[in-house]
Chain A
Amino acid sequence: MSEISSIFTENPTEELTPGQLLRRRIRSHHGIILGCLLLIFIILMAALAPILAPHDPYQQVLLSRLKPPVWMSGGTWVHPLGTDHLGRDYLSRLMYGAQISLLIGFATAAISGVIGVGLGLIAGYFGGRVDQLVMFLVTVKLSVPTILVALAVVQLVGGSLQVVIVVLGLLLWHQFTVVTRSVTMQIRDMDYVTSARTIGLSTTRLLLTEILPNITNQIIVVLTLTMASAIVIEAALSFLGVGVQPPLPSWGIMIAEGKEHIFFRPWLVIIPGVALLTLVLGINLLGDGIRDVTVPQGRS
């Protein structure tokens, strides 16, 4: 019997580490790249506002009210995006508004993340009655009309940035819980968790050091989605006159104030809306992209 190796010459397959594979997939995923760019653009706008904004966003100059943006007739580079009904520079307000939206997004996502992940870990790990209780809470939460309750509570308590953050943080945790719980249940019975238990690791440490790192990918995806929700809901609340109060330059408030002039000066409504759309689009693309890219190997 002759020993002759494979008669077909194959293209050599490269062996990549998981990290390299991930980086390659990220680089070829257009959604992630676009999402990142959009998000970074808005973050830069917010971070550099104190340095780059041409004017004070609260300074009213009643003589230069309702000036158009620079690309329309009557516009000047003094106010590149024009001014609002109180003569405040629109570009500066837009840039500072980015700070508000980003702050709401991150803070709310952080609060609801802590609540949601905590509940999800407990439910997934302990199972049984605890799990039933947590799932019941989730069902109750899902049955509560979020915007309606947010509107009601913020209006009644009195609108401010802090109130909005706390209220939304208490209303947006359910998706974290659902995802964390299901992944925890899968991991709970795996060997490395069992061995950690047998060497006497306390439950809290177990949850934090063994289970948590493995659900990070999914949590990041939910984080982005929750951030986007929070930003949009806050804008809607401000638009309806509830929530963050003027003269803060929330984009929602800018759109609401611009609504009065929608017939002849539509840019007052369009510009902050485009900024909002950009931010939410960027976050959504990033979240979707991360989900696509971190899908377990077998699925692709």
Chain B
Amino acid sequence: MSVENDPFVRVHDLSIDIPVANGVLHAVRDVSFEIQKGQTLCIVGESGSGKSMLALGIIGLLPHRATRVASEISFGGVDLQNLSRSELSMIRGRRVAMIFQEPMTSLNPCYTIGDQMIEMAVRHLQMGVTDAQDCARMWLEKVGIPASSERLKQYPHQLSGGLRQRVMIAMMLMCEPELIIADEPTTALDVTIQAQVLHVLSSLQHELGLTMLFITHDLGVVSRIADQIAVMYAGTFVEIGSAQAVLDTPQHPYTRGLLDCIPGFSTRSRDGKLGTISGAVPSLIGVASGCAFSNRCPNAVAECTQGQNPEPRVVGNQYVRCLMPKSSLILADH
């Protein structure tokens, strides 16, 4: 939802296509959002919804074959679309950071933690090696890793998954960027570790006033850290609004289905059955006809399968791409 003040992150009409063997895969379709400075937008969606492609597309790390089209991609006034490769590489790591899902494989096995952190400070902050070492040590402590001097000399394989992810966070934040994009940073970790890492990330965000784009499929995480929520399905945002609005009064049938699947969020009675969404995500190759969710939607009518992807409209306190959102239903809920 755009607000009166100037939003920090602005993405409008972003689409990403990838040519595949039997056609063109529309991985991301007409995604738009804005984030205020210091706030967190959580993008929720299942595997294959295009969330990771969206993240990579914003910072320009898509595979070669992919094409990206948008009317705007900018943050803090910097237009990310028209930068040269070297300008983009100066901005990555320095003003926008990205944290990935797989801590086990995201660090180079041949170099020490210290090496990999120091090169960040040297590259972006023009520090000398000793200063960079101090900076690295300080940041390891900030993410809650004790004995930082010894850790700097260790290799990634000597650390557990949780520790590696903390190192990633420290490494990506040590140049104090303004925007973090986190693509499911806790998904690959043990449940007990997830909470710790999440806590580290979110407290650093508040300390530094960072704007965050947080991608996840875990609604529990979302409820804890989101200011805004965007629900992504089949490459497009089906619902986007403030966290409270989306969680308390979900409008899109898919959102409602997702929340129904989770005890505690479900709008059903406590003793009722857990919800499911039958059917499967359709293939994204080829020409779209109507709403992507229509084959699984309990509210679908004939118009839903015709024409284009429904345009976002204001329903309640959020934007929804739906011809039959909850508020307009006259049938009883089931």
A residues whose Cβ falls under 8 Å from a Cβ of B: 1-11, 13
A7-B288 contact in complex given A1-B278, A13-B22, C-beta closer than 8 Å: yes
Q: Which B residues touch A6, using CB under 8 A? A: 282-283, 295
For the complex of A and B, list the 10 residue pairs with the smallest distance between their C-beta atoms, beginning with the closest: A10-B286, A11-B23, A8-B286, A4-B295, A11-B22, A6-B282, A9-B286, A2-B300, A7-B289, A10-B285
Number of interface residues of B (CB under 8 A): 22
A10-B23 contact in complex given A1-B278, A2-B300, A4-B305, C-beta closer than 8 Å: yes
Check if B54 is an interface residue, CB within 8 A of chain A: no
Q: Do B300 and A8 have beta carbons less than 8 Å apart?
A: no
Q: Which B residues touch A2, using CB under 8 A? A: 294-295, 297, 300-301
B residues whose Cβ falls under 8 Å from a Cβ of A: 22-23, 278, 282-292, 294-295, 297-298, 300-301, 304-305
A8-B287 contact in complex given A1-B278, A2-B300, A13-B22, C-beta closer than 8 Å: yes
Q: Which A residues touch B305, using CB under 8 A? A: 4, 7
Q: Do A8 and B22 have beta carbons less than 8 Å apart?
A: no
Task: Please report the C-alpha to C-alpha distance between residue A263 and residue B287 in the assembled complex, in whole angstroms.
Answer: 69
User: How many Cβ-Cβ contacts under 8 Å join chain A to chain B?
Assistant: 48
Chain A nearest Cβ from B26, distance in angstroms: 8
A11-B294 contact in complex given A2-B300, A4-B305, C-beta closer than 8 Å: no
Q: Which A residues touch B287, using CB under 8 A? A: 8-9
Q: Do B295 and A8 have beta carbons less than 8 Å apart?
A: no
Which residue of A has the minimal Cβ distance to B23?
A11
Chain A nearest Cβ from B124, distance in angstroms: 40
Please tell me which one of the listed residues B278, B282, B298 contacts residue A8 in the complex, with CB atoms under 8 A apart. Answer: B282
Sample of 19 A–B contacts (CB below 8 Å): A1-B278, A2-B294, A2-B301, A3-B295, A4-B294, A4-B295, A6-B295, A7-B289, A7-B290, A8-B282, A8-B284, A8-B287, A9-B286, A10-B283, A10-B285, A10-B286, A11-B23, A11-B285, A11-B286
Chain A nearest Cβ from B27, distance in angstroms: 13
Q: Do A4 and B284 have beta carbons less than 8 Å apart?
A: no
Q: Which A residues touch B283, using CB under 8 A? A: 6, 8, 10
